[in-house]
Amino acid sequence: MNLPPSRRSDVSAALATVPVDGALRLQCCVHCATVQYPPRERCGHCLADALVWQEVSGEATLLAVSALSHSLEPWFGDRLPWAVGSLRLDAGPVVFAHLAVAGAQPGARLRVANANDASGAWCLVAFEGESPDFTASLEQLGIST
Ligand SMILES: [Zn+2]
């Protein structure tokens, strides 16, 4: 069975262990409270190495959308076109996420949550609605909880 690529950086390994419940958990700096993304070893704002994983707002504005029409990864190749987007979180950083929203346009207000893809690797998913809709969004992407 084909699976999505599972390689991720060592520092982001903790993302695969956070609950998949419709919430978003990212690293936050203990000293200046800056929310970090992508995961890193030092704060991108003050360089402190005291980063903790905590729940942050998943509310976000969609900045750009792209639909993959070709992939060298067989798992994605079987599911094309695949929609991804960049979103500015209200919590600060810009993230990249799988889009579980058909036809979303830049400027749309979406929610971002942690998920684990079919290979068990962490990913981010953007969806519409509230947390109870999150499971349906994952099923739409072929991602199970
Ligand atoms: Zn900091």
pLDDT reported for residue 145: 54
CATH of the domain at 33: 2.40.50.840
Q: How confident is the model at residue 32 (pLDDT cuts 50, 70, 90)?
A: very high
Residues in CB range of 13: below 8 A, 6 or more apart:
none
Give the distance (Å) from ligand 1 centre to CA of residue 46: 4
Give the distance (Å) from ligand 1 centre to CA of residue 64: 27
Most confident segment among 7-11, 87-91, 135-139:
87-91
Does some domain include residue 7? Answer: no
Give the distance (Å) from ligand 1 centre to CA of residue 143: 33
Closest CA to 115 of 65, 58, 76, 70: 58
Does some domain include residue 145? Answer: no
Span 58-110, pLDDT tens digits = 999 999 999 989 988 888 888 888 899 999 999 999 999 999 888 899 999 99
Give the distance (Å) from ligand 1 centre to CA of residue 94: 17
* Residues around ligand 1, an ion, CB closer than 5 A: 29, 31-32, 34, 43, 45-46, 48
Host domain of residue 116: 13-140
Does some domain include residue 114? Answer: yes
pLDDT reported for residue 97: 94
- Of residues 124 and 120, which shows the higher confidence score? 124
Does some domain include residue 2? Answer: no
Residues in CB range of 27: below 8 A, 6 or more apart:
35, 36, 37, 39, 40, 51, 52, 53
**Structural domains counted in the chain:** 1
pTM for the whole thing? 0.85
pLDDT reported for residue 82: 86
Residues in CB range of 41: below 8 A, 6 or more apart:
11, 49, 51
